[in-house]
Amino acid sequence: MRLRVAGAVMLAAAAYYVYLPLPSGVSEPWKLMLLDSLFRSFMQASDIAHALGFCHRVHLLNRVVSWVEVVEARSSVTVHVTDSTLGGVPTRVFQPKEGRKLKRGVIYFHGGGWALASGKMRSYDLLCRKMSEDLDAVIMSVDYRLAPDAVFPDQYHDALAASRAFLSTEVLQRYSIDPERVCVSGDSAGGNLAAAAAQEMKETFARSSVSCLTGSDLHSIPAVRGDPCWQVTQQLHLLIEKSVSQRYQRLISTAVKDEVSRVLPSLVMDDRASPRPKVAAHVTGSFAPKLEHDEGGPVSAGRRVQGQKISWWEGRKGLAFLQDVQLVDGELVVSQPGLYYVYAQTYFRHTHSLEEDGEEVGDRGKPLLQYVYKKVSSYPVPILLMKTSRTSCWSRGSDFSLHSAHQGGLFPLTTGDRLFVTVTNASAVDMDEKSSFFGAFLIS
């Protein structure tokens, strides 16, 4: 009897640990639950081993990864695979057995936060095989040193050493690689190494080439809109987002609707029963403002509008879009009547200048206000919908201060209504597309 009770308790505990609430639309949920519980158990076991002093948590995780994922170098009918050392760094080279005489070359850096994973893992092995076959290219997957045994900049030095060795005349001739058609690539932390290697060896790589990294967080690098790399990267991101959205949006939307309908069934609309036009707009800041004389100074009191209107919104490029809504002179023109959610955000950047005696110019407690107005054909004066304010206070000696103002709300709008945003000091608004934006979308 006691054995049965103990078994039941253990079974219940295991079920509680494995079970994970998932939307009803997820395919094969138990496989996902088991995989998630397996990952969690590895993480918790590594934390316990680290706390008891047996080994570092990263060492245990890498041992598990090596046991589960690392595969031997095995050639196939189309690709010859070998493990070698280039520049003192372990690598795995994938070489097509057939194809053109001179082949492309790809230097690939795996991800893992510079602490986990390996270029010899099954997932990277399959990826590099696929690239080698489809591109008719020689792929070098670099196994750089990992933390905590190696600390920065050891990983960076390994990336440079392997890249320089791959571009040597001896290696290029050995694998029949065209020196004018070599690129660097990587995912996650490997994308960071790829960017660093390309930047350090920019004189080695062709100056006309463009390096685009899709899996790396490079937002800290200043983007110049006229730069060809920035333009190609933006287009590539949009293409990836569009293709992923088209493939998975219907499945995800169905799963989310099913989950929400359990809690708020009245908010879930059946598209087939009540089709509604998809009316939405999201306009963003632009760094090329229209220099209009009437927008440069305060709006006249006769118009009964507070602040200065922002007219230089972007409606088509980058993150901005217009769907059945027009953008005219900085104003959103509504095409369909209904209940809309309207929102706006402006980002104020104040640069602090000093007088000759060191005192700051201007008011240290100046209020920063944002207004959202609606213009209707039946009323001569714009109607104020929303207003928000912030007080600009900053510490002495600072070069600049940053303040954001955000607001949103539901409003009934009719065909022809126009929405626009005004602020107290338009010259201080930072018109970055992710910082200052304005939009509306039809709800019902």
So which residues are the catalytic ones?
Answer: 188
Within 13 Å, how many C-alpha atoms sit on residue 46's CB side?
16
* 254 CA to centre of own chain: 24
154-166 and 189-200 helices, crossing angle to 10°: 60
A 10 A CB-CB count for 442 gives 22
First to last CA, the chain: 61
Distance of alpha carbon 326 from alpha carbon 39, whole angstroms: 49
Are the C-beta atoms of residues 309 and 429 closer than 8 Å to each other?
no
| Cα distances (angstroms) measured from residue 367 to each of 80, 304, 360 | 68, 20, 16
| Cα distances (angstroms) measured from residue 55 to each of 49, 147, 348 | 6, 13, 49
Instruction: Read off the amino acid at residue 392.
Output: S
Measuring CA to CA, which residue among 160, 154, 157, 217 is closest to residue 184?
160
